[in-house]
Structure 1
Amino acid sequence: MSQIASTDWYRAGAHGIDIRVRLTPKGGRDALDGIVALADGTSVLAARVRSAPEKGAANAALEKLVAGALGVARATVAVASGHKARLKTVHVDGDARELSGALTALAESIGTRPN
């Protein structure tokens, strides 16, 4: 298993962070599965939710999952792009430095996995 740099899958900005996520709806459980490398070499946070991809339910479940994992308010997390795609960008509003630290700790706890 190759180690993936933590900043490959998220980017800090002036008003928070953007996280690249590959979401599996109807995945049997709500969980963050690790950092994975895609075929093109980019890395993403792999996530799964029980919700079906209907009427935004899977996106809402993803936002709740990310908020809980980072310990931030649900209102600060939003799917910024990829609303109808498996590959999404999730924006978390807040202090980028604190959020980057939380993401680094999260990545260490969930690890990486082969795709």
Structure 2
Amino acid sequence: MKFHVYIQPGAKKSGYAGEFDGKAKIKVAAPPVEGAANDAVVRFFAKTLKLPKSAVRICAGGLSRHKTLEIDAELSESEILEAIRRRS
């Protein structure tokens, strides 16, 4: 399943931060340097959805705050949103 997000790197704490531009907004504590924020996004979604990191990939937007994730799981968009809201 593809899931679109907006990422805010360099935040004090990682978590769900509402919506921005029609996408879930996720804050990550990692800075946008050498892929650290991208790795943090993958870890955040894998941990939140209780999936291995290999089941979550950034398939578009590697150098942008607007990212498309590919999540290898039988989850709907609403189930993913509910999981990230509960975690934050």
Taking structure 2 as the reference length, what is the TM-score of the superposition? 0.84
- The residue that corresponds to 1:68 in the other structure is 47
Taking structure 1 as the reference length, what is the TM-score of the superposition? 0.66
Aligned equivalents of 2:68, 2:13: Cα separation in 1: 21
Contact kept, 8 Å, 1:19 with 1:45, in 2: the verdict is: no
Pairs aligned (count) = 85
- The residue that corresponds to 1:99 in the other structure is 75
Contact kept, 8 Å, 2:13 with 2:27, in 1: the verdict is: yes
Are 2:2 and 1:28 equivalent residues in the alignment?
Answer: no
Q: Which runs of 5+ in 1 are unaligned?
A: 1-16
Q: Secondary structure at the match of 1:91?
A: strand
Q: Deviations over 1:24-66 (max 9, x none)?
A: 00011111223x251xxxx211101111111100000000101
Where does structure 1 differ by over 4 angstroms across 4 or more consecutive aligned residues? none
CA RMSD between the two structures? 1.8
Contact kept, 8 Å, 2:4 with 2:69, in 1: the verdict is: yes
Aligned equivalents of 2:31, 2:3: Cα separation in 1: 21
- C-alpha change, 1:76 and 1:26, in structure 2 (3 Å) is same
- The residue that corresponds to 1:4 in the other structure is none
Contact kept, 8 Å, 2:13 with 2:29, in 1: the verdict is: yes
Q: Which runs of 5+ in 2 are unaligned?
A: none
Q: Secondary structure at the match of 1:55?
A: coil
Q: Which of 45, 66, 81 is matched with 2:24 structurally?
A: 45
Contact kept, 8 Å, 1:70 with 1:99, in 2: the verdict is: no
Task: Give the fraction of aligned pairs with identical amino acids, expressed as a percent.
Answer: 26
Letter in 2 for 1:92: I
**1:104: how far off?**
2.1
